[in-house]
Structure 1
Amino acid sequence: MANSKKVYIAGGCFWGMEDLFRTRKGIIDTEVGYIGGENENPTYGNHPGHAEGIEITYDTTETDFKEIVDYFFRIHNPTTVDRQGNDRGSSYRSAIFFQNDEEKQIAEEVIAIVNKSNKWEGKVVTTLEPYTKFWPAEDYHQDYLVKNPNGYTCHFERFGTFLDK
């Protein structure tokens, strides 16, 4: 699709993030996987240094990177290091995997807006990491909360937008 782009983020357990993003305006597709780690072909049982991440494909005529990052900061706690809900460890870190300088700059701008809002008790600890490679997770992780509607998630909308409209 000519008007599509991809975003790579991590904010704790990938199931909950995928479930919330999948229904957003302009989102074409979501896939959960591993990103930012040490090994090739990571698996759920062997993904050292990788975050549980999500690849989001979006329609640039309906949404943009800034709006996606804004929503990202509204559905997980970006002020906890290596933790979301009951999940702990670097796999559950908050991270944005930028693909170019423009994405990095936009992410920095949104982080400053989120920090200035004081909606979170602490400051944002989300890491900005250069994109390397996204490895899709096993099939049973894809669309997990659609397949298991009562499955675990710690993600939910906490605030309205941080952006001026």
Structure 2
Amino acid sequence: MKRILFFALLLSFSKTIYSQEIKTDSLLTEKQNAEWIAEFEKLDSKSKQIAEIKKKIFSDTIYKRQQNSCRIVIKNQETVQEAMEKANCECKIVFVLGFKKSVYLLDPNEYQKTNKILELTTNNDINKITVLKGITASVLYGTNGRCGVVVMYSDSRKFKRKIKNVL
């Protein structure tokens, strides 16, 4: 009996130690993402930026993008942009891998092959990294782009073929 109790206790502890916590009650807010983007823009090398992008994409997998809208209240002489910044809405940064004629969204919750694409992505494959914020991001990517968009551009045909082989 003691062995069974010990085994059950050990099993329950191992689940809590090795499982990834799923966030259901807390939100990834615009403010948190704005802070991440501000820190990201301070990075001086492309390799550090790519590493941060990979970490952010992985860490955001515990948040699932909700399609519900949030309520934004515009008060006295406040612009829509100011009201949106104050709203506490769920928000995820959109990460994109762009080529000349094609674009791939990088979100492991929506696209299963994202992790494999990120594994293939190296410093040499990416030519330029651009951060889109505010109205520009919203116009190009809709409501999903409200918290910002990070686009990694590549001209490498070899890299594009690797990506197509994965998909």
Q: Which category of TM-score, normalised to the shorter sequence, fits these structures?
A: under 0.3
Larger Rg: 2
Greater helix share, structure number: 2
Q: Structure 1 length normalisation: TM-score? A: 0.27
Q: Structure 2 length normalisation: TM-score? A: 0.27
Greater strand share, structure number: 1
